[in-house]
Amino acid sequence: MNLMGGFIANNLDRKKHYDLLDFGSFINKGQTLNHRQLLEEYDVTYTGVDIQAGRNVDIQMTQPYKIPVPSNSQDVVLSGQVFEHIPFPWASILEIARVLRTGGVFMMTVPSRGHHHSTYDCWRYYPDSMRALAAQADLTLVRVKTDWPPRQLESPQRHDFHQIDLADHYWGDTGAVFRKPRWRPSPRRAVNRYFTLQRANRIGDLSAHPRPKGTRLNAPKVAASE
């Protein structure tokens, strides 16, 4: 929330109106924090979309890789802690690019490290991950920030994983800001988008591809002395 709040403060003008889409806006029972709170001082028309109906969702997506809003209709798209759960993020980023207006911004946060959580937890993201998403969707990467683990004193280029459970180091995020440039007509872009979305929506989720038996999703418990 702090990372997204900083992005909003640096990229939105309180004197302007924005059509804003919150991609993956569903909040669980008991969850209190959401992006609407970060936008209280801004003039926005807020639309929350998610694949499941519920709290903070204005429009339910009937297909996992089809955002049900018109092309070039949004000034801003937000997505917080969502892209790690998406099996095919290169399809979702194409849809986000589609709905953005020229000059519009996409601001996202996503884990760079942390334990397995939720039904599908597919990815952890680094700065180069954001570059790859930008390249896939013909967006401009404006800013990226990653929380890294502590560094080794003797070898600063290496992480010190023995310190990973200290305060503020267990969980980490990557945040990025993208901007949609003016696009020239591109048959390549249209073909890429058509086939990528068609295949992603046909597969849908990972239910047809179960984990191998015995797959461990989290680290084993260890004794306190360890």
pLDDT tens, 93-117? Answer: 999 999 999 999 999 999 999 999 8
What is the identity of the amino acid at 10? Answer: N
Specify the pLDDT at position 137.
98
Rg (CA), the chain: 19
Q: pLDDT digit string (tens) for 155-191?
A: 988 988 888 887 777 899 999 999 999 999 999 999 9
Q: What CATH number should be reported for the domain whose range is 2-203?
A: 3.40.50.150
Per-residue pLDDT band for 216 (boundaries 50, 70, 90) equals confident
Query: pTM of the full predicted structure?
Result: 0.93
Q: What are the residue ranges spanned by the domains of the chain?
A: 2-203
Per-residue pLDDT band for 219 (boundaries 50, 70, 90) equals low
3 state SS for the chain = CHHHHHHHHHHCCCCCEEEEEEECCCCCCCCCCCHHHHCCCCEEEEEEEECCCCCCCCEECCECCECCCCCCCEEEEEEECCHHHCCCHHHHHHHHHHHEEEEEEEEEEEEEECCCCCCCCCCCCCHHHHHHHHHHHCCEEEEEEECCCCECCCCCCCECHHHCCCCCCCCEEEEEEEECCCCCCCHHHHHHHHHHHHHHHHHCCCCCCCCCCCCCCCCCCCCCCC
To the nearest whole number, what is the mean pLDDT of the chain? 93
The residue whose two tokens read 């601001």 is 107
Q: pLDDT digit string (tens) for 121-131?
A: 999 999 999 99
Interval 46-66 mean pLDDT: 96
pLDDT at 223 over 80: no
Gap between the Cα atoms of 126 and 140, Å rounded: 16
